């Protein structure tokens, strides 16, 4: 027996019995899988909740910025005169990218469907407004929605009715009549031809309109090419869809200043779960084919109220900013029109001189890489200089707001009332949901406690062959660490997946598909079948498991089938409450990583107590443990 007691030790190598035992303990039982699943669910839950809150905040910030630029200059009720000069001065600064004037007022918009909507009116210069706010990208319609087209055709026929009716041949008139006469009347073409001369001119226009509205294709086959071209040319949108965007950008429709309304101002637009819009009444209530009456109440410079001003304007397009508040109440009109409505236009004064046009606000966009705060610091002195330079140009200097009366703020300050609470809410959520870490640690603790209990004799054996207390602690800490790491990684990806597909999941809840219900019910059936087979052997567990699994499946399946059959759904994210139509679906990566690490740390913390218990165990008692 050479070498007895002459043993060399090499403390540097990793004590492999710990990893070996951890590995075997993990792979030989179900409980660790439950612990891993629990950790994964905890981590995923926190990631989803915090990511949605963060995404909400980000959306809010992004939307706030695209809608109002980076810095906002608001004048007193007199407005800012010589704003073109001020814009020029601001745009000369390298930190500013663009600036645009806005005239803001409130009013009532009478809708084509005989209702009124209270609206916030923004008079804008479309071109510079687009440079500051990317307004062009928010224009919703770039072509005519299919079903609305026939209403445009009918309107076009109305415009050129007399002219078009005059070109109709007898054949065409007979064709037009053919569809319209009742069944009990002689419908032979000869008989119809005899009736043609008795029909007055105006009725042919009506017949053309009706057919255009209900069967445009049939009308096209009846009319010859020249006549059909005449119809299309009566409406520039029918000639070319692209003109819809052009009109929107120019805020001009058929040579008149036009309104661009927020997508949710009109009740004619209904959002689908896919995020697109359907026009109510089979295209009838497509807003851009109507005119609206805008009523504003002018508050004069002394604060008195003048008679309401009415103006009828066509709608040119609609915009979708995806900020519900804005989409629901804002309408855009040309700046000059708004100035006329509010009395801020350029006007000669009775006692000589000219009162300049004014804007209530200036929106400014920062140059690439410039923060709103940096830009703000430049704009304040620019306005001071502007006021000093131009103060004497104005007839009534009291109407030129001094710097102290002008509010110059960043968009964040402007939106602080909204952003502040959302930020606090996110923090609160994170803290509240971090309580699940304790659940996570408690689960690992309970599971490890039972494993330590079960493995008591192993601990005694290991101690009898010289394993140190630290070595025993190591086994169970490693165990907790592995559960934490696997659970954390699974949770990370689970949370990422759920967050990424949260809108699809939400849409599915909104309109649950029938197949989901059928799968759930089939699952319940299979579970019951399995339980019945196993119950015959007299086991209790299958009965309990079968009941616990099948009852929720049946309930869930029944609710889904009911919802799918009746078209009822579960809409949790109400766009009216949360301002945005979609649930934010971008994962907040730093938060997700911190959450995952938190899951791992708490799993190890949970393992500490059972590990310490294991280390403290009396080896002799442990060896005798049955």
**Half-sphere exposure in the Cβ direction for 180 (13 Å, CA):** 19
Residue 502 CB, nearest distance to another protein (Å)? Answer: 41
The nearer residue to another protein, 238 or 461, going by C-beta atoms, is 461
Q: How many CB atoms lie within 10 A of CB 63?
A: 19
CB of 614 to another protein, least distance (A): 14
Q: What gap in Å lies between CA 492 and CA 503, rounded to an integer?
A: 18
Angle at Cα 242 formed by Cα 334 and Cα 157, nearest 5°?
90
Give the residue from 491, 513, 503 showing the smallest Cα distance to 591. 491
Q: SS3 for 571? A: coil
Distance linking the first and last C-alpha atoms of the chain: 35
- Minimum Å gap between C-beta 481 and another protein is 19
CA distances, 161 to each of 171, 206, 418 (Å):
18, 9, 53
Q: Compare residues 477 and 502 and give the one whose CB is closer to another protein.
A: 477
Q: Cα 208–212–217 angle (5° rounding)? A: 120
Write down the least CB distance from residue 607 to another protein, Å: 18
Cβ at position 476, least distance to another protein in Å: 14
Give CA–CA dist 46/434, Å, rounded.
7
Which residue shows structure tokens 């027996």? 1
| Chain position carrying tokens 């140190």 | 468
Shortest distance in whole angstroms from residue 483 CB to another protein = 17
Which residue lies nearer to another protein by CB, 1 or 350? 1
Closer of 160 and 473 to another protein (Cβ):
473
Question: Please, which residue, 8 or 184, has the CB nearer to another protein?
Answer: 8
Q: Which is nearer to another protein, 12 or 431 (CB)?
A: 12
Between 11 and 350, CB nearer to another protein: 11
Enter the tokens of residue 554: 């049946």
C-alpha–C-alpha distance, residues 137 and 118, integer Å: 25
| Nearest CB to another protein, comparing residues 3 and 200 | 3
Where along the sequence are the contacts to another protein (CB under 8 A)?
Answer: 1, 3-5, 7-17, 20-21, 24-25, 28, 457-458, 460-469, 471, 619-620, 623
Rounded Cα–Cα distance for residues 16 and 39 (Å): 26
| DSSP count for the chain of H helices, then E strands | 27, 17
Minimal distance in Å, beta carbon 47 to another protein?
Answer: 34
Least distance in angstroms from the C-beta of 622 to another protein: 10
Q: Crossing angle for the helix pair 469-500 and 435-454, nearest 10 degrees?
A: 140
């Amino acid at each position: 027996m050479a070498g007895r007691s002459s043993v060399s030790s090499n403390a540097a190598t990793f004590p492999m019995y710990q990893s070996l035992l951890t590995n075997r303990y993990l792979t030989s039982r179900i409980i660790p899988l439950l612990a891993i699943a629990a950790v994964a669910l905890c981590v995923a839950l926190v990631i989803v909740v915090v990511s949605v809150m963060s995404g909400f905040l980000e959306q809010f910030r992004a939307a706030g910025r695209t809608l109002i630029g980076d810095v906002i200059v608001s004048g007193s009720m007199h407005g800012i005169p010589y704003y073109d000069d001020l814009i020029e001065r601001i745009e000369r600064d390298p930190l500013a990218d663009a600036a645009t004037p806005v005239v803001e007022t409130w009013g009532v918009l009478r809708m084509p469907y005989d209702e009124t909507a209270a609206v916030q009116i923004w008079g804008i210069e479309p071109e510079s407004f687009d440079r500051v706010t990317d307004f062009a990208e928010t224009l919703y319609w770039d072509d005519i929605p299919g079903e609305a087209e026939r209403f445009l055709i009918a309107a076009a026929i109305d415009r050129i009715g007399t002219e078009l009716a005059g070109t109709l041949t007898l054949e065409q008139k007979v064709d037009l009549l053919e569809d319209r006469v009742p069944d009990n009347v002689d419908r032979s073409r000869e008989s119809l031809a005899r009736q043609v001369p008795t029909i007055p001119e105006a009725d042919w226009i009506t017949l053309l309109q009706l057919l255009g509205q209900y069967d445009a294709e049939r009308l096209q086959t009846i009319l010859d090419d020249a006549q059909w071209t005449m119809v299309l040319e009566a409406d520039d949108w029918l000639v070319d869809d692209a003109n819809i965007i052009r009109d929107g950008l120019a805020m001009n429709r058929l040579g008149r200043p036009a309104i661009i309304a927020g997508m949710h101002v009109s009740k004619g637009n209904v959002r689908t779960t896919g995020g697109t819009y359907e026009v109510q009444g089979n295209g009838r209530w497509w807003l851009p084919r109507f005119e609206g009456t805008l009523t504003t109440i002018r508050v004069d410079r002394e604060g008195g109220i003048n008679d309401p001003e009415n103006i009828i304007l066509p709608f040119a397009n609609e915009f979708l900013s995806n900020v519900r508040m804005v989409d629901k109440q804002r309408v855009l009109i040309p700046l000059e029109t708004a100035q006329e409505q509010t009395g801020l236009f350029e006007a000669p004064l009775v006692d000589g001189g000219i009162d300049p046009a004014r804007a209530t606000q200036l929106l400014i966009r920062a140059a690439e890489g410039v923060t709103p705060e940096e830009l703000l610091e430049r704009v304040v002195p620019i306005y001071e200089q502007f006021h000093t330079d131009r103060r004497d140009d104005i007839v009534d200097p009291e109407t030129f707001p001094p710097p102290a009366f002008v509010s110059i703020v960043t968009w964040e300050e402007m939106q602080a009332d909204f952003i502040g609470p959302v930020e606090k809410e996110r923090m609160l959520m994170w803290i509240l949901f971090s309580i699940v870490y304790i659940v996570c640690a408690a689960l690992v603790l309970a599971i490890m406690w039972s494993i330590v209990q079960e493995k008591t004799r192993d601990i005694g054996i290991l101690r009898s062959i010289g394993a140190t207390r630290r070595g025993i602690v190591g086994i169970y800490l490693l165990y907790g660490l592995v559960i934490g790491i696997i659970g954390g990684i699974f949770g990370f990806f689970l949370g990422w997946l759920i967050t990424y597909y949260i809108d699809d999941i939400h849409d599915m809840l909104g309109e649950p598909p029938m197949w989901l219900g059928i799968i759930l019910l089939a699952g319940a059936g299979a579970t019951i079948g399995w339980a019945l087979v196993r119950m015959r052997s007299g086991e209790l567990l299958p009965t309990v498991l079968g009941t616990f699994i099948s009852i929720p499946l049946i309930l869930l399946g029944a609710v889904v089938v009911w919802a799918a059959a009746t078209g009822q759904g579960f809409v949790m994210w109400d766009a009216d409450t949360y301002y945005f139509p979609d649930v934010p679906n971008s994962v907040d990566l730093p938060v997700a990583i911190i959450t995952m690490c938190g899951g791992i740390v708490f799993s190890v913390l949970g393992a500490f107590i059972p590990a310490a218990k294991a280390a403290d165990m009396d080896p002799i008692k442990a060896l005798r443990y049955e």
